[in-house]
Amino acid sequence: MQYLKDHQEDFLEQLMEYLRIPSVSAQSDHADDIQSCSDWLVAHCKTIGLKTRKIKTAGNPVVIAQTPRKGKSKKPHFMVYGHYDVQPPDPLNLWTTSPFEPHIEGDKLIARGATDNKGQHFVHLKAVESYLKTGTELPCDITFMIEGEEEIGSPSLTPALEKLKSELNVRAVVVSDNGMPDLKHPALTYGLRGVAACEVRLKGPNRDLHSGIYGGAVDNPAMVLCQMLAQLRDRRGRVAVPGFYDDVAPLSKLEREQSKRFPHKDTKLAREL
Ligand SMILES: [Zn+2]
């Protein structure tokens, strides 16, 4: 802890340097920035004392940084996932400060990528640094995997993971790429909603039909689609697709108790939205 306190200003400087790199993955004119950002990260991880390398992919590189291991380590192995790419800063006229020139306001650091996701994995890196630089034994082995395509759907991540499979036999992955309820409640996210996408095509009559003559007798595809979509959820928001919950594990007693502690109020949310 003392190391963290003693170096807080340096850490802030370093984070600001990281945030100044406009590593926008969705815009091809930032391709060089993506490369220099991954280079910056590799160099930084090395100064921390991590065994670091850059994995080439068909797209943007993945940075792998590991805590040093002595021989065949028997410690539990965990992964910290993060991404060094950021969202485009547009529309620029809505920014009151420059997106890639970090700006401190009170206890907030404002810059593109500060909270998604450079700031978060930087915190993990600094925590590990304080162990390594003070010669404190880490209770576990940690592998950082920091990719550069999260904001464009991570197309190169699965092939990279396939390649690294044997060395990434981790017990759990820590993903600090989500929010926390408030400053007093740091959150450990252990589950996220998934997404399933599909395309539905409905075929209707072979020509426009006059509603006065055919209405009621022949279904309008737009109406049928509305009816189909409306049936996917019931009024309480439960998914009404048969079999959908078959392999969903019920919440445990502990999970229910913990979720009650969550400082969430519908009224507050309604006000915010
Ligand atoms: Zn993110």
Taking the centre of ligand 1 as the mean of its atom positions, its distance from the CA of residue 166, in whole angstroms, is 26
Distance, in Å, from the CA atom of 124 to the CA atom of 144, rounded to the nearest integer, reads: 9
Instruction: Output the pLDDT for position 217.
Output: 94
Mean pLDDT by 10 residues, the chain (273 residues): 93 97 96 97 97 96 94 91 96 94 94 96 96 95 97 95 91 86 78 84 92 93 94 94 93 91 86 92
Same-domain pairing of 21 and 150: yes
Domain boundary among 175, 203, 233: 175
pLDDT at position 5: 93
What was the pLDDT predicted at 75? 94
Contact 83, 151 (CB under 8 A): yes
Separation of alpha carbons 141 and 134, rounded Å: 17
What is the distance between the alpha carbons of residues 115 and 123, in angstroms, rounded to a whole number? 11
Domain ranges, residue 142:
2-175
Ligand 1 centre distance from Cα of residue 173 (Å): 15
Which CATH number do you get for residue 99? Answer: 3.40.630.10
8 with 109, same domain?
yes
CA pair distance 268, 144, nearest whole angstrom: 36
Question: Residue 118 is encoded by which pair of tokens?
Answer: 């450079």
162, 218: one domain: no
Position 133 in a domain: yes
CA 55 – ligand 1 centroid, Å:
20
Tell me, yes or no, whether 162 and 90 share the same domain: yes
Cα-to-chain-centroid distance, residue 227: 34
Q: Same structural domain for residues 125 and 233?
A: no
What is the number of domains present in the chain?
2
For residues 147 and 58, the answer to whether their CB atoms sit within 8 Å is: no
In this prediction, residue 84 carries a pLDDT of 98
What's the pLDDT at 88? 96
- Tokens 């279904």 — which residue? 219
Domain-located, residue 19: yes
Output the CA 235–ligand 1 centroid distance in Å: 32
Q: How far is the CA of 3 from the centre of ligand 1 (A)?
A: 28
CA–centroid distance, 193 to ligand 1, in Å, is 15
Strands of the sheet with 77-83, listed across from one edge: 51-55, 62-66, 141-147, 77-83, 172-175
pLDDT of 11: 97
| CATH code, domain with 250 | 3.30.70.360
Let me know if residue 64 belongs to a domain: yes
Residue 185 within any structural domain of the chain: no
Q: Check whether residue 136 and residue 227 sit in a common domain.
A: no
> Closest Cα to residue 97, out of 122, 116, 114, 119?
114
What was the pLDDT predicted at 70? 80
Do 152 and 230 have their domain in common? no
Q: What is residue 176's predicted lDDT score, i.e. its pLDDT?
A: 84
C-alpha of residue 178 to centroid of ligand 1, in Å: 7
Q: How far is 81 from 92, CA to CA, in rounded Å?
A: 29
182 lies in a domain? no
Do 21 and 143 fall within a single domain? yes
189 inside domain: no
Q: Is 231 contained in some domain? A: yes
What integer pLDDT is reported at residue 264 of this predicted model? 79
pLDDT at 178: 82
How far is it, in rounded angstroms, from Cα 112 to Cα 101? 9
Q: How far does residue 15's CA lie from ligand 1's centre (Å)? A: 16
